[in-house]
């Protein structure tokens, strides 16, 4: 047996006698082959796009930004999302579940969806309607990735259709009719709570839907409640419902004004409601009326602003101040983009949609709510107009993500929500009441096979 050190020599020498010498041409060809392989690999690692992307982020190599072309086309980042949308969502019918009709129409069934689609809580209706028309909707529960539970509970409550106690009871009754909710412990079920109350509108949310996916414009509520219903890892912040007349492309009820024609440095269009930050702004406007506009908004009567008049005032400043109200989110933040006014956030706990992919430092200002005073006005006054124009231009690109439009629109709030929902899909098909046998049969604790589960089922 020879020495191990001799083996490679014999092998290579044998091969060498049968191979032509390596010339400079061979070396150049090998380098070209390696370079082309590397280029093609990088090319196919990214999804194809028919539009040249222009990033909202200065770092054009970042994978964690959403790209927009000048035509409003959206290209979602591949990392964490995938190259294309691939979802199957089952939408419960109001007649198939005992209780859903009351959550949609009230105890007497007299509240219409058209009455609920208006105003800041209209997202509960718009998301439901758009999912019913969506290409991602499936009518087969067995193949669904996610399940959507429709309810207009906020509107129904505001219109007297159900009180708080009835809403709570009706949600529990409806959930007990859903075997798939029981199977997963609610992990694959989606609920919309469109107001500042968030899921707290359903008083027993923490017992029944604490694992479910909650869509809400409201984030942290620990400042008002002992616990927050918003969970960063499973829930989704959605845009507020901006007046349809302002979101129509090229036909908005109030067109933006050139900066040179805007009368005020900043404005706040809202009621005081006894909130500290709002009261400070109103007092500041009295001291500096030529810089900050804070008109007293009436609930009713001849002095009440109509929608047109409201937006005409909103567009008359460079900066639209958005303080917190009863809760941390404010519709004024979203409205400001459609009059091309830079939003100034005075709400420390505020959360915003699609934060994984939108750089909010490019389109807005967030200022500490504890420092409302002349210092704020002086800071805003120091910002050059070219910087204001730059922020407005960036906001003009991103605002399509605040519009609840059909899927034919390539950039919309629903497109953003669907991408975020895709990231929430989990194959958790087990709960405390779900068990399985050696042959993969799913049963409950009474050993009844899943296909034979009979509602109503006891909930925790």
Identify whether residues 213 and 338 lie together within a single domain: no
* Beta pairing class for 236-237 and 442-443: unpaired
Identify whether residues 112 and 202 lie together within a single domain: yes
Q: How many domains does the chain have?
A: 3
Identify whether residues 259 and 351 lie together within a single domain: yes
List b or e across 339-356, with b for residues whose CB sees 16 or more CB atoms inside 10 angstroms. bbbbbbbbbebbbbbbeb
Q: Say if 59 falls within a structural domain.
A: no
> CATH number for the domain including 344?
3.40.50.2000
Identify whether residues 392 and 290 lie together within a single domain: yes
Identify whether residues 105 and 211 lie together within a single domain: yes
Spatial separation of the C-alpha atoms in residues 65 and 398, rounded to whole Å? 12
Identify whether residues 269 and 386 lie together within a single domain: yes
Prediction pTM value: 0.83
Identify whether residues 285 and 175 lie together within a single domain: no
* Beta pairing class for 435-436 and 442-443: antiparallel
Q: Say if 278 falls within a structural domain.
A: yes
Q: Say if 83 falls within a structural domain.
A: no
Q: Say if 332 falls within a structural domain.
A: yes
Q: Say if 37 falls within a structural domain.
A: yes
List b or e across 94-120, with b for residues whose CB sees 16 or more CB atoms inside 10 angstroms. beebebbbbbbbbeeeebebeebbeeb
Identify whether residues 127 and 223 lie together within a single domain: yes
Spatial separation of the C-alpha atoms in residues 387 and 41, rounded to whole Å? 39
Q: Say if 24 falls within a structural domain.
A: yes
Note the pLDDT of residue 51.
Answer: 34
Note the pLDDT of residue 251.
Answer: 67
Note the pLDDT of residue 224.
Answer: 59
Note the pLDDT of residue 270.
Answer: 85
Q: Say if 58 falls within a structural domain.
A: no
- Please list the pLDDT of the chain residue by residue as tens digits (460 residues): 444 444 433 333 334 444 455 566 665 665 655 555 544 444 433 333 333 333 344 443 444 556 665 445 567 778 778 888 999 999 999 999 999 999 999 999 999 999 999 888 899 999 999 999 999 999 999 999 999 999 999 999 999 999 999 999 999 999 999 999 999 999 999 999 998 888 999 999 999 999 999 999 987 665 556 678 888 889 999 999 999 889 887 667 889 999 999 999 999 998 888 889 999 999 999 999 999 999 877 655 566 678 888 899 999 999 999 998 888 888 999 999 999 999 999 999 899 999 888 999 999 999 999 999 999 999 999 999 999 999 999 999 999 999 999 988 889 999 999 999 999 998 766 788 899 999 999 999 999 999 999 999 888 7
Identify whether residues 367 and 294 lie together within a single domain: yes
Last residue of a domain, one of 13, 28, 45: 45
Identify whether residues 228 and 287 lie together within a single domain: no
Note the pLDDT of residue 222.
Answer: 58
Identify whether residues 321 and 437 lie together within a single domain: no
Q: Say if 196 falls within a structural domain.
A: yes
Residue 349 domain boundaries:
252-403
Identify whether residues 40 and 138 lie together within a single domain: no
């Amino acid at each position: 047996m020879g020495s191990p050190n001799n083996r490679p020599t014999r092998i290579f020498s044998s091969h060498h006698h049968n191979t032509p010498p390596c010339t400079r041409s061979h070396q150049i060809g090998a380098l070209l082959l390696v370079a082309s392989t590397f280029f093609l690999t990088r090319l196919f690692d990214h999804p194809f796009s028919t539009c040249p992307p222009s990033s909202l982020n200065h770092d054009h190599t970042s994978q964690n930004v959403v790209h927009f072309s000048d035509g409003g086309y959206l290209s979602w980042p591949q990392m964490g999302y995938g190259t294309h949308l691939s979802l199957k969502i089952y939408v419960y019918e109001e007649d198939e579940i005992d209780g859903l009709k009351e959550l949609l129409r009230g105890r007497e069934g007299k509240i219409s969806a058209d009455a609920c689609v208006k105003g800041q809580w209209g997202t509960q209706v718009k998301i439901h309607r758009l999912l019913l028309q969506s290409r991602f909707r499936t009518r087969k529960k067995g193949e669904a990735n996610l399940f959507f539970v429709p309810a207009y509970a906020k509107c129904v409550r505001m219109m007297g259709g159900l009180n708080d106690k009835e809403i709570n009871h009706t949600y529990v009754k409806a959930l007990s009719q859903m075997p798939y909710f029981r199977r997963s412990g609610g992990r694959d079920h989606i609920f919309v709570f469109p107001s500042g109350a968030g899921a707290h509108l359903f008083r027993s949310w923490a017992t029944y839907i604490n694992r479910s996916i909650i869509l809400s414009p409201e984030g942290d509520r620990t400042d008002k409640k002992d616990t927050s219903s918003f969970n960063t890892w499973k829930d989704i912040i959605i845009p507020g419902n901006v007046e349809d007349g302002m979101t129509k492309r090229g036909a908005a009820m109030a067109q933006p004004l050139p900066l040179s024609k805007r009368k005020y440095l900043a404005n706040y269009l809202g009621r005081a409601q006894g909130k500290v930050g709002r009261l400070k702004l109103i007092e500041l406007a009295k001291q500096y009326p030529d810089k900050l506009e804070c008109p007293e908004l009436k609930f009713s009567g001849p002095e009440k602003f109509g929608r047109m008049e409201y937006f005409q005032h909103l567009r008359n400043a460079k900066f639209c101040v958005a303080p917190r109200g009863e809760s941390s989110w404010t519709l004024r933040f979203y409205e400001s983009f459609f009059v091309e006014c830079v939003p100034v956030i005075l709400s420390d706990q505020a959360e915003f949609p699609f934060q994984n992919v939108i750089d909010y430092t490019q389109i807005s200002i967030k200022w500490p709510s504890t420092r409302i005073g002349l210092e704020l006005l002086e800071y805003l006054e120091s910002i050059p107009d070219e910087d204001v124009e730059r922020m407005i231009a960036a906001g003009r690109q991103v605002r399509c993500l605040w519009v609840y439009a059909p899927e034919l629109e390539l950039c919309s709030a629903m497109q953003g929500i669907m991408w975020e929902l895709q990231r929430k899909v989990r194959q958790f098909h087990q709960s405390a009441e779900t068990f399985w046998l050696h042959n993969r049969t799913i049963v409950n604790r009474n050993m009844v096979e899943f296909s034979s589960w009979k509602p109503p089922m006891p909930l925790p």
